[in-house]
Chain A
Amino acid sequence: MSDTPREPRSGEPPATRSSAILAPGYTFTTLTDKLASIVLSRRTPKAWFFGAAVGFALTMVLLGALGYLLVKGIGIWGVNEPVGWGFEIVNFVWWIGIGHAGTLISAILLLLRQPWRSSINRFAEAMTIFAVACASLYPAFHTGRPWLDYWLLPYPNTMGMWPNFRSPLIWDVFAVSTYATVSLLFWYVGMIPDLATLRDRAKKLWARLLYGTLAMGWRGSARHWHRYETASLLLAGLATPLVVSVHTVVSFDFAAGIVPGWHATIFPPYFVAGAIYAGFAMVLTLAIPLRKMYGLEDFITLKHLDNMAKILLATGLIVGYGYMVEAFMAFYSGNPYERFMMWNRMHGPYKNMYWVLLFCNLVAPQALWFRQVRRSIPALFCMAMIVNVGMWLERYVIVVVSLSRDFLPSSWGMYKGTIFDWATFIGSIGLFIALLFLFIRLLPMISIFEMRAILPEAKVREAEE
């Protein structure tokens, strides 16, 4: 066997093999070099500088907004009585949800032995971590006195006080911090062998030092690989229930409350599905431009997009089911408050949001039944965008609309995001972009060693004996 590209095994010509999860003709060498070069040698594309610039500019907006918040107080946001939670919690849930796809791809698909995940799991995990980072900004800053947030942690103090472990917010603290930690570890561990590759390929001293340090002296020993694989499987096994639990806990923030429109048993599964739904939409939103920018069409093939589209469709249907159950239970419960809540969503002052969200999350995705749509990149990108918007609206309807009209009509009120709400929201998107662009510039955005493993030549041919 040589370094020259080998012929594909199966007969059909390469071009049409859109079901392949890796374009033919790659060897360990070419694959490694191509992927490593993105970080090490290849010229950074203009698009990168543009994206990074946008990201950092918006991050400045975020810092400005949060700085002003600390000076003036939470009142600069639109929150009021009765709507004590607005954009901040909407965005928190939205971001956390987005994170879920990453863990799903890296953990659940790993357990399900889905080789096609290999090319997207790395940046999907990165996306998870950045999304969680953005998400956790909100609960941290939405308190009236953010500098006292640490009181939510159980630590011995002069007040002799402990947190209230019955509060869903404390559950959030545990769930989200665990989620962030585990995702980070999983991500890093997954990168160690590739860091070693970069260490070995790097020419510049700083790069060798940096990657050398991060690789921790990995040398690909069979014994190491053995434990490494065990660890990965175990982590995947742990991350799977974790990812399910995290959005379940997030849904408890609402389900554990008594507000009509919050207090629903359907919430945990419906939130988890929604999270994966939103997450895959975001993966598509990122993957499509990225593969173009770095010419990764060979690694993130139409097959990947197609699979993700299918997952989008499936989770979309689950979410739609959630909407219907909500409406049905409201009616079936016979509870006047629940019934009014549903009536209010459909006909109340915020009715447009409700109908738009139904269109975005329920109606529009049905187009994914058609292969042509799943295989058309622009269509897919639009679909992903629609779902991103739809899922944001869903959280808005759940959080704001439910609060705006609850039990006592005398206390009903309207909510409207202020410029600072928007600045914070857009700013957090900026932070996300900035982190993402740093990542794709400095770290291998596609798992090189896992790609090697799915090369045909990686097969150990035993059968012959």
Chain B
Amino acid sequence: MSGAALYGLMAEFEDPTALVEAARAAREAGFTRLDAYSPFPIEAMAEALDIHDRKLPAVVLSGGLFGGLAAYALCYWCSVIDYPLNVGGKPFHSAPAFIVPTFETTILFAALAAVFGMLALNGLPMPYHPVFNAPRFALASRDRFFLCIEAKDPKFDHDETWAFLTKLGPRVVMDVEE
């Protein structure tokens, strides 16, 4: 191993089932700072790695509410307060008409919140990440499944963890450098 600091150890598996079982085993073994990498979403992983993140829906909800209120306020202020005009004898406060912009803006802001919220929470865009140093990691976007235990993990010990991962029957285990 070269002098570069160690980010963690990574095990490569061949199918999702193996990965899920490995992840579960790793957690049961008490590892906390670990992550799994797969070429497609695996529902079981959430439970296996016990991921409980409910932030996003809240973000989206607030985005939507903001959009809606802002839009209606805009319509109201323009048409009733700032420059009331007699338009075809309609009341200045034409609530039914204002609903449409309100609705559309609600959707718009909620959607923006969803996308940018997701990216932000995932810390994307991220130009550099150590896991890419793993030699075969490029396959994570094709047909291979990886489990990575970080060196920062309190229970982490290079040799023990190496042995532990090997037990899980991966195709290969490798060092990941910072």
Interface residues of A, Cβ cutoff 8 Å to B: 1, 3, 27-29, 32-33, 154, 160-166, 170-171, 174-175, 177-178, 181-182, 185-186, 189, 193, 196-197, 199-201, 216-231, 234-235, 238-239, 241-242, 245, 249, 252, 449-450, 452-453, 457-462
Q: Pick the most buried of A161, A217, A227: most chain B CB atoms within 10 A of its CB.
A: A227
User: Is the interface on chain B under 10, 10 to 19, 20 to 34, or 35 or more residues?
Assistant: 35 or more
Q: Are A218 and B124 in contact (CB under 8 A)?
A: yes
Q: Which A-chain residue is minimally distant from B45 (CB atoms)?
A: A222
Question: Does B172 sit within 8 A of A, measured CB to CB?
Answer: no
Q: Are B39 and A452 in contact (CB under 8 A)?
A: yes
Chain B proximity of A219: nearest CB distance (Å)? 6
Q: Are A29 and B143 in contact (CB under 8 A)?
A: yes
Chain A proximity of B99: nearest CB distance (Å)? 9
Q: Which B-chain residue is minimally distant from A214 (CB atoms)?
A: B125
What CA separation (Å) do A229 and B40 show in the bound complex? 10
What CA separation (Å) do A32 and B39 show in the bound complex? 10
Q: Which secondary structure dominates where chain A touches chain B? A: helix
What CA separation (Å) do A223 and B148 show in the bound complex? 13
Q: A223-B53, A235-B115 are in contact. List 14 more A-B contacts (CB 8 A).
A: A1-B15, A196-B141, A199-B141, A216-B125, A218-B141, A219-B37, A220-B38, A222-B23, A223-B49, A234-B60, A235-B111, A239-B111, A458-B42, A459-B16
Q: Given contacts A1-B15, A154-B78, A460-B42, is CB(A182)–CB(B36) below 8 Å?
A: no
Q: Given contacts A175-B100, A216-B126, A238-B110, is CB(A162)–CB(B78) below 8 Å?
A: yes
**Interchain CB contact (< 8 A) of A161 among B15, B83, B98, B118:** B83
Chain B proximity of A447: nearest CB distance (Å)? 10
Q: Are A223 and B122 in contact (CB under 8 A)?
A: yes
What CA separation (Å) do A189 and B40 show in the bound complex? 14
Q: Are B108 and A178 in contact (CB under 8 A)?
A: yes
What CA separation (Å) do A199 and B45 show in the bound complex? 24
Q: Are A235 and B114 in contact (CB under 8 A)?
A: yes
Q: Mark B79-122, 1 if CB is under 8 A from A, else 0.
A: 10011010110100010011011011101101110110111011
Q: Given contacts A234-B56, A453-B41, is CB(A227)–CB(B122) below 8 Å?
A: yes
Q: Pick the most buried of A162, A165, A189, A241: most chain B CB atoms within 10 A of its CB.
A: A165
Chain A proximity of B155: nearest CB distance (Å)? 19
Interface residues of B, Cβ cutoff 8 Å to A: 14-17, 20, 23, 35-46, 49, 51, 53, 56-57, 60, 64, 71, 74-75, 78-79, 82-83, 85, 87-88, 90, 94, 97-98, 100-101, 103-105, 107-108, 110-112, 114-115, 117-119, 121-122, 124-129, 131-132, 137-143
What CA separation (Å) do A3 and B40 show in the bound complex? 17
Q: Given contacts A222-B35, A227-B56, A234-B57, is CB(A170)–CB(B140) below 8 Å?
A: no
Q: Are B105 and A197 in contact (CB under 8 A)?
A: no
Q: Given contacts A231-B56, A235-B114, A452-B39, is CB(A165)–CB(B97) below 8 Å?
A: yes
Q: Can you offer 16 A-B residue contacts whose CB atoms are under 8 A?
A: A27-B143, A29-B142, A154-B74, A171-B100, A197-B142, A200-B139, A200-B140, A216-B125, A217-B128, A226-B51, A230-B53, A234-B114, A235-B111, A242-B111, A457-B15, A461-B17
Chain A residue numbers with a CB within 8 Å of B83 are 160-162
What CA separation (Å) do A190 and B14 show in the bound complex? 25
What CA separation (Å) do A28 and B45 show in the bound complex? 18
What CA separation (Å) do A452 and B115 show in the bound complex? 23
Chain B residue numbers with a CB within 8 Å of A252 are 100
Chain B residue numbers with a CB within 8 Å of A197 are 39, 141-142
Chain A residue numbers with a CB within 8 Å of B97 are 165-166, 171
Q: Are A220 and B111 in contact (CB under 8 A)?
A: no
Q: Are B51 and A223 in contact (CB under 8 A)?
A: yes
What CA separation (Å) do A245 and B110 show in the bound complex? 15
Q: Are B114 and A238 in contact (CB under 8 A)?
A: yes
What CA separation (Å) do A179 and B20 show in the bound complex? 38
Q: Pick the most buried of A28, A162, A231: most chain B CB atoms within 10 A of its CB.
A: A231
Chain A residue numbers with a CB within 8 Å of B53 are 223, 226-227, 230
Chain B residue numbers with a CB within 8 Å of A224 are 122, 124
